[in-house]
Structure 1
Amino acid sequence: MQLRSLTICAIVFFTAGLAVASFAGFREFIPGLLQGALITIQITIGGCILAVIMALVAAIAKMYGPWPLRWLAIAYIEVFRGTSALVQLFWLFFVLPHFGILLEPLTVAIAALGLNVGAYGAEVVRGAVAAVPRGQWEASVALNMPRNLALRRIILPQAFIAMIPPWGNLFIELLKATALVSLITISDLTFKAQQMNQTTFRTVEIFTIVLIMYLAISILITVGMRALETVAARGMARGR
């Protein structure tokens, strides 16, 4: 029922944005805003995938890896949590070319946001894994199960459910951070809105529509994560 309500809200907000744009005489700008929204969604999806991968790798390395990997994971987490996402974005875009590394703006955007959110996600993964009852580890040892197999078959599946709610928050934070990529010449939703505002000076209408679009996308993320949480909980219940 809650998922249905959130889905309806997302549809209503997105439709409201299109309606406001149409009534305000901005119908001709809708394709541009939708094109920008598509770029925003693409960066969000790519950044989320990279964030999850980096978080899992960094958390497992920090907790169970040999000391070189452990210190490398700690350095990654602290550097990307302790510095500004905007500075990280600029560093990858403007500094890496001085070392002969040239990346496309879209690649830089996905990498910067994914690495930044992945550092926060690593602590989410670590906390979820640490919260699994110690008896699960003891049972795997009693079965003579190697640590890697125990992590993959017993520990991580149980920790996965606890990770989902905070990961939903991180994904929404990543979505909002995509507005920064307009500063490295990417025509995302914010960039398109700024362009239209400079040519039409209809600030209220344009940024109200953009606000509704961001809200609709964030609600869709929430719906997806709630659905994933429900499926995971049912799977765990069947496993028990």
Structure 2
Amino acid sequence: MATIMIPPPDSLLRYNPPMLVSRRTEKRSPEALPLKGTPQPSPPPGPVPPSRPRTTAAASAKEPQEILNAILPPRSWEEDNRLWVQEVSSVPSTRLDVVQLQEQLDLKLQQRQARETGICPVRRELYSQCFDELIRETTINCAERGLLLLRVRDEIQMTIAAYQTLYESSIAFGMRKALQAEQGKSDMEKRIEELEEEKRELERLVSEEKAKCEAIEKREIERRQIEEKKHAEEVQFLKRTNQQLKAQLESIIAPNK
């Protein structure tokens, strides 16, 4: 049963058809492309045959592809123990290709529902692919201009990365401050509850003291009324006694006259 190859996600950057580099379960064929980081086989012992000089046409045809591979590295993936590599295309682009690129960009922005404003990873990814495609098209016509555009792209990416790091740091700082504020808020709420409980306890003590004061005042009023009544009775008793004694005295004095 034939295996269906699943290529990487579609990109606005134009690539050549994928090439099979090696099979993991088989020996690599001499025609397979060397893998990155794989040492080249050493030449056989004996006299080295003279190398065939490359023609000017072959060198000029390979140079743009090498420059493109250095600027825009090929993408690779593995499937069914087979390694596939896909290089960027070195075919020059026409004005119609640029118009189609713009239409594809607008279409993908709409299909992937990219945000028109603000921070949007989807929009940034698509515009990066579009800029890489413009670098590819420019490099084919003028390598120096393409390298300069690559420098501008790297500077923009570095600036965006710095802003992203600053944004993430500010978000983390804001989250820490929010957590501290939330923790301080809970502490303050707990302190408020404690103070309210203390206030209620003090109000209860004040009520008890007021009740005691009212009871004391009531007892003192009653005692004073009793004392005043007793004093008034004693005064009345002394007045009556005084009148009786005065009457007796007058009765004793009156016959002697």
With normalisation by structure 2, the TM-score equals: 0.25
Q: From the CA coordinates, give the structure whose radius of gyration is larger.
A: 2
Between 1 and 2, higher relative CO (CA 8 Å, sep ≥ 6) is seen in 1
Higher strand share: 2
With normalisation by structure 1, the TM-score equals: 0.26
